[in-house]
């Protein structure tokens, strides 16, 4: 298995998305010609009705989607015939844009990689149809999910009040609070200290790791804390965890929210205090110098090296970046524990969080007749039912991608499970599975759905690693900020290009200066005011205002 469960799950799922070569869309009847649908056999509840022809745009995979078991199942269930227009994943957006520019686009975009601004732009142009009424009438499962998870409905609704796309709703166990910190409990025991609860206690722990030879080899080779840039290791940058003991750090936009009012974190005095703390750790050799440059392979080699263990702690969402958590014959990972959010000198104790909102996985175009729109929304809604989510993600046949759980199988919370992945029929590794859509299309991957599945109950085993991550996430949940900026907020189309430039320049500026302050290339006493002044030239007020308008849907 891969060293990152999240990466490995994504690879497995994506590899099972089964697709074929590009083709043209199906029926291009305009929505205004709904009356002609019946003559095309597109809308009827009778057993002998002709199927509704429906064009789907989607990414191309390793097996033909028209032969996919789930495709065949929904075609029969909803009396449709899907014609696939496929594009390579790395050219998906370019192909989508060409279709839209030519006017020869299909009735449905499935995985069109539409951003919020894209949806607003094409919705305003009338290319994408509003889905509000269709959801009200024909999507009871999705509607129930929107009622149950109000932030989902908020995230789906554009500033004009319309819904133009349906997302894949994904609440993975370890994603909500992924700015984590892990520590070597064996070393803690050797130096006679407990898991730290404050920034002062952490300093004492790291100092002991450096000076008291916890690996017992008589060498000063211990690395008290390591990390890596976020682009290599998920939330591996040391500030993603440490700064939250001083001021909220979302590790992306650097925004805070108080009573609905947006502000910027990375120019505040509390941010300076956090930088001073990290500089202290770095200057005393407690933070690995490689933390600002090394990639995931280097981190794995450091943690899994033969001989004496040299790492005492790491900032990362997934412990599996550092040590092998899957091979039960390797025991090094078993003595690592999660460190909950630390309390800073001013009582700040926060956990960086994100919501489970995935990409907009489906949009319906104005080429769809009324019957085609109804068929498409019903297909999407089915994947928000328990059965539909199960079949769509794991296959329609029990025993291959899933099975009913035994009475003694428990879920992530130790409660009786309904489904299981254990003891499934063996699959030929040389044959590409073609029985589900896996990570294709909108569907329910909420925590409620995930809780239906069994998992190993020992979190220190390879099979129980997902439970270990879930347990670690639970330790962070009590420290969620009262408000945080929703990643799914709609930035106005007219602001998209401006925001792309502002966000890149501001993020680069924050991160480059942060590294310089921590390392000591810049002096906080002498250079802080100049750093703060530098945001004036980056149009920080406009950056904040655009995001403010986005959450206010103005």
Calculated CA dihedral for residues 491, 493, 495, 497, nearest 10 degrees: 110
The dihedral through the CA atoms of 251, 257, 263, 265 has a sign that is negative
pTM of the model: 0.84
Report the SS3 class of residue 33: helix
C-alpha to C-alpha distance for 419 and 393, rounded to whole angstroms: 13
Phi/psi for 216 (5° steps) reads 70, 20
Q: What is the pLDDT of residues 294-328, one digit of tens each?
A: 999 999 999 999 999 999 999 999 999 999 999 99
Q: What is the pLDDT of residue 48?
A: 63
Q: What is the pLDDT of residue 39?
A: 30
- pLDDT in single tens digits along all 554 residues of the chain: 333 333 333 333 333 333 333 333 333 333 333 333 333 333 444 456 899 999 999 999 888 999 999 999 999 999 999 999 999 999 999 999 999 999 999 999 999 999 888 999 999 999 999 999 999 999 999 999 999 988 889 889 999 999 999 999 988 888 889 999 999 999 999 999 999 999 999 999 999 999 999 999 999 999 999 999 999 999 999 999 999 999 999 999 999 999 999 999 999 999 999 999 999 999 999 999 999 999 999 999 999 999 999 999 999 999 999 999 999 999 999 999 999 999 999 999 999 998 767 678 999 999 999 999 999 999 999 999 999 999 999 999 999 999 999 999 999 999 999 999 998 888 888 888 899 999 899 999 999 999 999 999 999 999 999 999 999 999 999 999 999 998 788 888 888 889 989 999 999 999 999 999 999 999 999 999 999 999 999 999 999 999 999 998 87
- Compute CA 472 distance to the chain's CA centroid, rounded to the nearest angstrom: 17
Q: What is the pLDDT of residue 402?
A: 96
Q: What is the pLDDT of residues 324-343, one digit of tens each?
A: 999 999 999 999 999 999 99
Q: Which residues on neighbouring strands pair with residue 343, listed in sequence order? A: 198
Give which of 254, 227, 235, 245 is closest to 174, Cα–Cα. Answer: 235
Cβ proximity of 9 and 36 under 8 Å: no
């Amino acid at each position: 298995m891969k060293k990152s469960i999240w990466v490995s799950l994504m690879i497995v799922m994506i590899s099972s998305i089964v697709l074929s070569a590009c083709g043209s869309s199906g029926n291009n009847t305009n929505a205004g010609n709904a009356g002609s649908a019946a003559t095309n056999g597109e809308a009827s509840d009778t057993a002998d009705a002709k199927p509704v022809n429906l064009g789907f745009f989607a990414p191309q995979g390793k097996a033909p989607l028209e032969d996919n078991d789930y495709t065949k199942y929904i075609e029969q269930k909803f009396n449709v015939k899907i014609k696939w227009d496929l594009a390579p994943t790395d050219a998906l957006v370019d192909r989508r844009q060409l279709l839209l520019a030519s006017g020869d686009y299909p009735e449905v975009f499935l995985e069109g990689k539409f951003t919020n601004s894209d949806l607003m732009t094409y919705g305003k142009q009338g290319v994408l149809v509003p889905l509000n009424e269709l959801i009200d009438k024909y999507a009871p499962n999705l509607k129930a999910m929107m009622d149950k998870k109000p932030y989902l409905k908020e995230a789906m609704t554009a500033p004009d009040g319309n819904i133009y796309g349906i997302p894949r709703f994904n609440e993975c166990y370890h994603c909500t609070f992924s700015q984590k910190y892990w520590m070597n409990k064996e070393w803690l025991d050797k130096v006679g200290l407990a898991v730290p609860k404050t920034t002062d206690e952490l300093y004492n722990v790291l100092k002991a790791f450096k000076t008291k030879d916890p690996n017992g080899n008589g060498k000063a080779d211990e690395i008290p804390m390591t990390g890596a840039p976020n682009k290599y290791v998920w939330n591996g940058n040391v500030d993603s965890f440490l700064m939250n003991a001083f001021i909220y750090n979302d590790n992306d936009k650097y925004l805070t929210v108080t009573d609905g009012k947006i502000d910027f974190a990375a120019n505040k005095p509390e941010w300076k205090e956090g930088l001073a703390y990290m500089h202290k750790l770095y200057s005393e050799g407690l933070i690995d110098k490689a933390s600002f440059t090394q990639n995931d392979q280097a981190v794995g080699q450091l943690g899994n090296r033969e001989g004496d263990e040299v790492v005492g702690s790491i900032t990362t969402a997934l412990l599996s970046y550092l040590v092998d958590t899957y091979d039960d014959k390797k025991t090094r990972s078993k003595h690592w524990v999660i460190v909950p959010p630390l309390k800073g000198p001013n009582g700040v104790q926060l956990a960086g969080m994100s919501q489970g909102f995935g990409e907009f996985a489906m949009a319906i175009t104005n080429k769809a007749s009324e019957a085609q729109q109804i068929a498409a929304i019903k297909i999407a809604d089915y994947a928000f039912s328990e059965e539909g989510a199960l079949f769509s993600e794991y296959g329609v046949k029990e025993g291959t991608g899933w099975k009913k759980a035994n009475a003694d199988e428990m879920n992530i919370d130790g409660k009786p499970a309904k489904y299981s992945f254990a003891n499934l029929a063996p699959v030929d590794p040389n044959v590409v599975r073609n029985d589900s859509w896996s990570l294709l299309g909108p569907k329910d991957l909420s925590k409620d759905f995930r809780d239906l599945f069994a998992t190993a109950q020992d979190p220190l085993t390879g099979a129980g690693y997902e439970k270990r991550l879930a347990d670690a996430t639970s330790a962070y949940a009590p420290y969620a900020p009262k408000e945080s900026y929703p990643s799914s907020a709609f930035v106005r189309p007219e602001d998209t290009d401006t925001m792309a430039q502002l966000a890149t320049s501001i993020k680069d500026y924050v991160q480059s200066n942060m590294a310089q302050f921590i390392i000591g290339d810049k002096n906080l006493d002498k250079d802080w005011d100049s750093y703060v002044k530098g945001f004036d030239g980056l149009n920080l007020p406009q950056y904040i205002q655009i995001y403010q308008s986005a959450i206010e849907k103005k």
